[in-house]
Amino acid sequence: MGSNSVVSNRRMPEKMNCFDLSPNSNSDSEAEEVHVLAVDDSLVDRKVIERLLKISSCKVTAVDSGWRALKLLGLLDDEEEDKSSSSSSDGFEGLKVDLIITDYWMPGMTGYELLKKIKESSSFREIPVVIMSSENVMTRIDRCLEEGAEEFIVKPVKLSDVTRLRDYYMATREIRSAESGINVNKRKLQESFDVSTASSSPSSSSASPPPLFSSPAPCSPSSLDSPTRRPKMTSLDHILI
Amino acid sequence: MDLLSQLRGQIADFSAFLHREGFVDDQFTQLQKLRDESSPGFVVEVVSLFFEDCEKLVNNMAKALEQQIVDFKQVDSHVHQLKGSSSSIGAARIHNVCIAFKTCCEDQNRDGCVRCLQQVNHECIQLKNNLQTLFKLEQQIVAAGGSIPAMQ
């Protein structure tokens, strides 16, 4: 994992420059804001994270519980439909978000439980989830990363944490567009993906690129070995090298 | 020295004092930097929410500690909340008391908890007064035609 004194544990690379592949990346990023779903039971913390995100040019939806987050996403009512892959209601009725940032310790449903529910869902597991916690507990961090969290941020959350997250997800959105060979923004890509899965059989998935944030690509055999390695790292290495 | 310069000097001194004495830490400075034309009242708003929360939690903790049989888990969860929100706004002294308070809860030390609660209450009142002074100075600066400086 690294040093014990690290403030936040993250699986994303330190340097962002290498991800700026598309010549139109700046104008595309400006056109499409990153939409973040923030989950925290503390009103004070919600206000702060909301402000941090807004000032970083992100669109924010802030809720006070995991249940409310799942409901907004459209995950709660569709639990059974998620299990079969031909659901047509997922994504259409729920909120479309690029990133979920959640507090760990919440009454009812913890951030960890929320993370699990999202990663267990076939339609939502692609959405990157970041966990925040006031406590820097190694076992907790490991558990979250193993379950698929992108990053674990120790509170209090700073502006630099948020701008770093935003930059990373804006950049990787460009990567995904580049990977597919079509220079469209993520939302259009998601819509076309949803339409193709909704209306036709599983075999007609040729238009959809392998999602970066989902289960490991076939070319990364070692990605499951260590909890600190992320599948997307090897996919990106594949592009960059 | 004109009024604006005087006020700026006052606020700089007062801010330095608040930091030096540990009433606020860098996180408070961070919050102040999040103000802009679209949200000039952001810090005042968050601080107000914090004190509302604080008052509610202190009352709940007091009630819990008055019981014949104290539910330390309940008290601990209140302390945890206060510890979190105080950290988020940079209320360093309150945050530090909460750390000690948590230990008392874990040790199921009722007297220790009561002492910590008294300290929390004291620190909340002090910080509230101090921040009110700070915000008043800021208002005066704006009224005198200046803009609110960020803390150092």
Alpha-carbon gap, residue A233 to B147, rounded angstroms: 46
**What average pLDDT does the segment B18-29 reach?**
96
- Indicate whether A27 pLDDT > 50: no
Buried-state track B101-136, b at ≥16 Cβ within 10 A, e below 16: bbebbeeeeeeebbebbebbbebbeebbebbeebbe
Give the nearest partner residue to A44 out of B30, B34, B53, using CB atoms: B53
Query: Which two tokens mark A204?
Result: 């007609």
Starting at the earlier edge strand, list the strands of the sheet with A99-103.
Answer: A9-10, A151-154, A129-133, A99-103, A35-39, A59-63
Percent share of chain B, pLDDT over 70: 97
pLDDT digits (tens, 9 = 90+) for B47-70: 999 999 999 999 999 999 999 999
- CA separation for the pair A9, A157 (Å, rounded): 13
Q: What is the residue type of B125? A: I
Question: What ipTM, to 2 d.p.?
Answer: 0.92
Contact check, Cβ <8 Å, A42/B88: yes
What pLDDT score does A216 carry?
Answer: 41
pTM recorded for the entire structure: 0.73
pLDDT at A181: 57
Q: According to the model, what pLDDT value does residue A194 have?
A: 52
Chain B residues 87-106 with a CB less than 8 Å from chain A: 87-90
Q: Quick check: A47 and B49 CB within 8 A?
A: yes
Determine which of A7, A43, A48 to mutate to test the interface with B (most B C-beta atoms within 10 Å).
A48
B29, B74, B85, best to mutate vs chain A, most A CBs in 10 Å: B85
Interchain contact, B49 vs A43, CB within 8 Å: yes
